[in-house]
Structure 1
Amino acid sequence: MNEQKNLIVAFLLSLLVLVGYNYFVDTPKVKQQTEVAAKNSATVPTEALPSQELLSREQALVGQRIPINAAKIHGSINLVGSRFDDITLADYHETPDLQSAEIVLLSPKKTTQAYFVDFGWISASSQALPTPETVWSASSNELTTNKSLVLSWDNGQGLRFTRTIMIDDQYMFTVTDKVENKTATSLKLNAYGQITRVGKPQTGGYFILHEGPIGVLNGKLVELDYDKLKDKGSEEFNSAGGWLGITDKYWLVSLIPDQKVAYQSKFKTQTVQGVDRYLTETISPEYEVAPGQSVEVSQHLFAGAKNLRMLDAYEQKVGIDKFDLAVDFGWFYFLTKPLFYVLEYLNKILGNIGLAILLLTVIFKVAMFPLANKSYRSMSRMKALQPKMEVLKQRYGADKMKLNQELMELYKKEKINPMAGCLPILIQAPVFFCLYKVLFVTLEMRHAPFYGWIHDLSAPDPTSVFNLFGLLPFTPPSFLMIGAWPLIMGVTMLLQQRLSPQPADPAQAKAMMIMPVMMTVLLANFPAGLVIYWAWNNVLSIAQQWWIMRLEENNQAKSA
């Protein structure tokens, strides 16, 4: 009795401690963090969209600007607000034609696809700070890989702001902000960085690829869809180091604060004049600048292509936590990333990413040969039993329980495990999904030519059966663009089905026969490189399955 009483008292005391800690420690702490976050968020400058008619990109770029002529980036920095709003990628073009326009990554606020980055200071002080409308003075007339740019602004009240911008030989900017306090009072302020994307961009809509707000905060990958972020309104983190930004399939714009300092990071949406905008922010801890003193804060901005080797190098060089996760390798990251390096190596050897895809598929088929053989051998034996199974279905078709019992007896008699072929397939499935994922996200496949009519492996097959593959002088609508490679893939799927045992259920068998047609239509708009991979994988599977079936038939003939 005393033991039960002591147990109850101990339980109540433990519960009291937990509730008390939550009420007196956790709750005030969370409330304080929320208030600080709300205060900082409210003071980050946010501009209304211009009320006048939107401009073309060329018109919006007229004004006070400093050109960027770096190794891999072209564009300009707007002296109004010291804003990054004009960046194009020198090595990447809109089409496979190298004379076509460079990929536009950032655009001014007055354009239809405004996308820009701001850096600055926020403070509760009444002192005048730079705003998005502040006009900065420049120390030079150009920003290059070997030549930094120094911008400055004096508020006329004793505060001088200096911004030094550097860019490396890739896509990384270093932005160093300095505040000099020549007043008679101390100044408390926070440094911030902000990425703004106006309007929801068109995405591929692929369920296996993330496009939108992204980051690594507190060591964990954070991915937010545009629609989900809009529904939530905002999501905040307090993280030491890490990075956050907005990603497209091949491109990334990311803020990288000081990796040794705890920053407040935020994803949020706003609707201004009926237009949605998506923002990512970093806000530094509060700095106090005494009279006659200065403070200096450095941040990085990445704006460029998601080249995996380069991202890995930045992780080492700058110390950015898990920067390679900007490439969406998915759940099987530990398999997909090594696969990418193998594909990259084969591409260097063969000089064509398409050939590298074919060879990599062969390598995997060889690696999975024993497992696949076990699966195909089981399917071959099952197919050989089809006549006997048909007899049983005709005899016991009305009695499902009796039919299943007789089928089990048949399997036992013939020493066949109907599930024997499932385990190898389950083991192979993640590996081949990883290969599919690598081909889908790899930047190297973009605008890479193959042979024949395929000039861009990242684009759908440009031919169509409905204009006889170009013989008729018209272009069918997009939903009728079913090219030669999707048809080849569909035929290989049909042949593979014919080699496999048919389902016992007639309705299921009919559904399986429709599957190649559905997949042909579905994959017609997929990148040609993926369709070629799928067709080639089917061809190798058909060859292996046919070979196993011949072996089984010979073995059965000898045993007879």
Structure 2
Amino acid sequence: MEKNRNYLLAIVLSVAIIAVWQIFYMNPRLEAQRAAQEAQQAKIAEQQKTTASSDAAPAVAGADKPVAGALPAGAAGTEKISREAALTAAPRVAIDTPDLKGSINLVGARLDDLELKGYHETVDKSSPIITLLSPANTKDGYFAELGYIADSAAGKMPGPTTEWTLSKGDKLTPTTPVELTYTNDAGITFVRTISVDDHYMFTVKDKIENAGSAPVSIAGYGRITRNNKPDDRSTYVLHEGFLGVIGTDGSLVEEKYSAIEKENYVNPKATGGWIGITDKYWATAIVPPQTIAFDSRFSHFTDGKPRFQADYKDDGVTIAPGQSTQVINMVFAGAKEVPVVNSYADNMHITKFDKLIDWGWFYFITKPMFAVMDFFYKFFGNFGVAILMTTIVVKALFFPLASKQYASMANMKRMQPKMEELKKKFGDDRMGLQQATMQLYKEEKINPVAGCWPVLLQIPVFFSLYKVIYVTIEMRHAPFFGWIRDLSAPDPTSFVNLFGLLPFEAPTALHLGIWPIIMGITMFLQMRMNPTPPDPAQKMIFTWMPVVFTFMLGSFPAGLVIYWAWNNTLSIIQQSIIMRRHGVKVELFDNLKTLFRRKPKPAE
């Protein structure tokens, strides 16, 4: 029928788009990820061999004029030294929390040494833990810094090269804050108290005392600076790069690294909000004082020391002689764990801080879906089982729609004999056939479009689940059973090397594991629930579509493939029940017999 041709054509075009995206975008990206992982240890070894003599702080604002007045500049040297050498080149105070370890650089009071205790570079628990922040003069320099700006009458303000004095505490822990002090040549004293919670949020309280004889106006600044982009190339599925919420009522601003390399982005002046830099699973963000207006920007500098930078400069405060004031900043540096990030948004009242996690356009579906999945994970202790249980919940929610879809398909099959009669009656009279067909639909109360709507409505759910599995850190290195040790990575087995029996890895384009094959079989069986189309072109699509999807999903996250295979299985059971209710024969076994029955040889 014409409707079936259009429906199959839409499916073919969708498959073609996804296949092109997979072959020319996702496959090269996955190859790059694999190469980056293999090069990780070599990179670390190379850094160990690098030597140099100084730890020069890069310029805050570089050659460009900053958003609202000059930010302090340090030396823009290009020498790089090893991370170990950089950590011993300046006095430091240790950081030790349940989730973090590292140190604060007393030169600049920088947060530039931070490792995440709970996360390893690979699924192997003996692999190194994730390094998030590193000193500026290392190859992968990445740090957060807070300082001040004033005119020359106020003396030298604390900035990148200021050496603070540790006046209280010897280690920063959740129960023991540390206190740093600095007094400049104009008699202005800065007392900085740094505290940290059990997770990833640092609170920096600066008490500024003016012991001079004249009032001073001091503006605060903050910046997050990193030398390089992440090794893994980004994908459209999630955002990596600059982001922030500018203003208490502001919306999320996102800018890719590639866009900032072409042109710096200046945010409008606002009061409230936050700015930062995010990777897939990690992020660093500064929450400026929420009662002082600030300018902010996202920049890329190439003035001798290439770097990316998110910075802000506030309108400042005026301090009378003999008076003091307090300025509070917060710095997030760590893993984007959903409950932790949500708690900062809710309990600390940080505007839209939950947007630090890229939930996507369908966030109103994605976030509840994660909540359901997380509930089942806490109950069963396995995210793979949580995916299976979430699929059952989704199928239950869509059961009324699916019933209408399968009922429509059953009614269409019941009408096939009458449709064949109309075709014979009208022959080449297409207009007459169309009018008679519509009249038949009306008499039998059949809506041919009813079967399509449930499929369309479930597409956002599918992509939302893909988003949850791909983006949330809770899925990272989460095992299922057997050989699936990471639900966020593709099935590691492949038929090319006989599922691991042969000692080599399959190319990404040919990678096809056990779970994608299971998914392909379930999709094949689901399609065989209906009669094979008589048209040769439609028959070819009907036959080869499961094969195309099987290879296409071979490099998708294992969690998504498991979901799809399980969803197909539930759909087969559901469709069988509904078809029997409507008195329509289930074609699966007859179609399989016909497919595998040996055809008689033509008579000679």
TM category (shorter chain) comes to 0.7 to 0.9
Matched, 1:245 2:270: no
Deviates more, 1:365-374 or 1:388-397: 388-397
Paired position in structure 2 for 1:136:
164
Secondary structure at the counterpart of residue 261 of structure 1: coil
Instruction: State how far apart, in whole Å, the 1-side matches of 2:71 and 2:297 are.
Output: 12
Match of 1:431 among 439, 442, 461: 461
Instruction: State how far apart, in whole Å, the 2-side matches of 1:227 and 1:505 are.
Output: 48
Q: What does 1:37-436 correspond to in 2, within 5 Å?
A: 40-47=67-74, 49-52=76-79, 54-64=80-90, 65-125=92-152, 127-139=155-167, 140-203=169-232, 205-218=234-247, 219=249, 220-273=251-304, 275=306, 277-383=307-413, 401=431, 404-405=434-435, 407-408=437-438, 411-412=441-442, 415-436=445-466
> How far did 1:513 drift?
4.7
Secondary structure at the counterpart of residue 419 of structure 1: coil
Q: What does 1:434-445 correspond to in 2, within 5 Å?
A: 434-445=464-475
Instruction: State how far apart, in whole Å, the 2-side matches of 1:378 and 1:280 are.
Output: 55
> How far did 1:402 drift?
5.6
1:210-238 per-residue CA deviation (whole Å, 9 max, x = no partner) reads: 22212222322222222223334112132
> How far did 1:154 drift?
2.9
Checking the alignment, whether the CA contact within 8 Å between 2:111 and 2:133 is kept in structure 1 is yes
Paired position in structure 2 for 1:523:
553
Secondary structure at the counterpart of residue 434 of structure 1: helix
Deviates more, 1:389-398 or 1:161-170: 389-398
> How far did 1:119 drift?
0.4
Which one-letter code corresponds to 1:213 in the other structure? Answer: F
Checking the alignment, whether the CA contact within 8 Å between 1:383 and 1:502 is kept in structure 2 is no
Checking the alignment, whether the CA contact within 8 Å between 2:469 and 2:557 is kept in structure 1 is no
Instruction: State how far apart, in whole Å, the 2-side matches of 1:144 and 1:323 are.
Output: 24
1:5-53 per-residue CA deviation (whole Å, 9 max, x = no partner) reads: xxxxxxxxxxxxxxxxxxxxxxxxxxxxxxxx9665451235565322x
Which one-letter code corresponds to 2:101 in the other structure? Answer: H
> How far did 1:291 drift?
2.9
Instruction: State how far apart, in whole Å, the 2-side matches of 1:467 and 1:386 are.
Output: 46
Change (3 A) 1:327 1:505: farther
Checking the alignment, whether the CA contact within 8 Å between 2:529 and 2:586 is kept in structure 1 is no
Instruction: State how far apart, in whole Å, the 2-side matches of 1:274 and 1:491 are.
Output: 54
Which one-letter code corresponds to 2:191 in the other structure? Answer: T
Which one-letter code corresponds to 2:302 in the other structure? Answer: T
Secondary structure at the counterpart of residue 297 of structure 2: strand
Checking the alignment, whether the CA contact within 8 Å between 2:188 and 2:209 is kept in structure 1 is yes
Secondary structure at the counterpart of residue 224 of structure 1: strand
TM value normalised by structure 1 = 0.84
Change (3 A) 1:443 1:396: farther
TM value normalised by structure 2 = 0.78
> How far did 1:463 drift?
0.8
Deviates more, 1:231-240 or 1:452-461: 231-240
Checking the alignment, whether the CA contact within 8 Å between 1:217 and 1:242 is kept in structure 2 is yes
Which one-letter code corresponds to 2:314 in the other structure? Answer: S
Deviates more, 1:154-163 or 1:370-379: 154-163
Q: Provide the alpha-carbon RMSD of the alignment.
A: 3.0
Checking the alignment, whether the CA contact within 8 Å between 1:181 and 1:290 is kept in structure 2 is yes
1:144-181 per-residue CA deviation (whole Å, 9 max, x = no partner) reads: 22111222223334233332211111111011223333
Instruction: State how far apart, in whole Å, the 2-side matches of 1:108 and 1:514 are.
Output: 54
Change (3 A) 1:397 1:222: farther
> How far did 1:416 drift?
2.9
Checking the alignment, whether the CA contact within 8 Å between 2:477 and 2:485 is kept in structure 1 is yes
> How far did 1:295 drift?
2.9
Secondary structure at the counterpart of residue 163 of structure 2: coil
Instruction: State how far apart, in whole Å, the 2-side matches of 1:389 and 1:371 are.
Output: 26
1:513-537 per-residue CA deviation (whole Å, 9 max, x = no partner) reads: 5443343333322221121112111
> How far did 1:341 drift?
1.9
Instruction: State how far apart, in whole Å, the 2-side matches of 1:143 and 1:186 are.
Output: 34
Instruction: State how far apart, in whole Å, the 1-side matches of 2:574 and 2:397 are.
Output: 13
Secondary structure at the counterpart of residue 350 of structure 2: coil
Gaps of at least 5 residues in structure 1 are 1-36
> How far did 1:496 drift?
2.6
Deviates more, 1:386-395 or 1:141-150: 386-395
Instruction: State how far apart, in whole Å, the 2-side matches of 1:87 and 1:292 are.
Output: 38
1:232-284 per-residue CA deviation (whole Å, 9 max, x = no partner) reads: 41121322222221122222211112233333232222233373x32222322
Q: What does 1:436-455 correspond to in 2, within 5 Å?
A: 436-455=466-485
Instruction: State how far apart, in whole Å, the 2-side matches of 1:400 and 1:58 are.
Output: 79
Change (3 A) 1:400 1:233: farther
Instruction: State how far apart, in whole Å, the 1-side matches of 2:538 and 2:303 are.
Output: 52
Secondary structure at the counterpart of residue 519 of structure 1: helix
Checking the alignment, whether the CA contact within 8 Å between 1:125 and 1:188 is kept in structure 2 is no
Paired position in structure 1 for 2:51:
none
> How far did 1:434 drift?
2.9
Change (3 A) 1:538 1:111: farther
Change (3 A) 1:46 1:289: same
Instruction: State how far apart, in whole Å, the 2-side matches of 1:272 and 1:498 are.
Output: 63
Checking the alignment, whether the CA contact within 8 Å between 1:234 and 1:269 is kept in structure 2 is no
1:94-145 per-residue CA deviation (whole Å, 9 max, x = no partner) reads: 2233332111111222223221111000123352222312222222432122
Change (3 A) 1:274 1:111: closer
Change (3 A) 1:153 1:308: same
Which one-letter code corresponds to 2:84 in the other structure? Answer: E
Instruction: State how far apart, in whole Å, the 1-side matches of 2:533 and 2:315 are.
Output: 64
Instruction: State how far apart, in whole Å, the 1-side matches of 2:428 and 2:233 are.
Output: 49
1:58-115 per-residue CA deviation (whole Å, 9 max, x = no partner) reads: 3332222221112211011112211111111111222233332111111222223221
Instruction: State how far apart, in whole Å, the 1-side matches of 2:384 and 2:70 are.
Output: 51
Give the count of matched residue pairs.
Answer: 519
Secondary structure at the counterpart of residue 188 of structure 1: strand
Checking the alignment, whether the CA contact within 8 Å between 1:94 and 1:103 is kept in structure 2 is yes
Instruction: State how far apart, in whole Å, the 1-side matches of 2:531 and 2:73 are.
Output: 64
Deviates more, 1:184-193 or 1:351-360: 184-193
Q: What does 1:467-482 correspond to in 2, within 5 Å?
A: 467-482=497-512
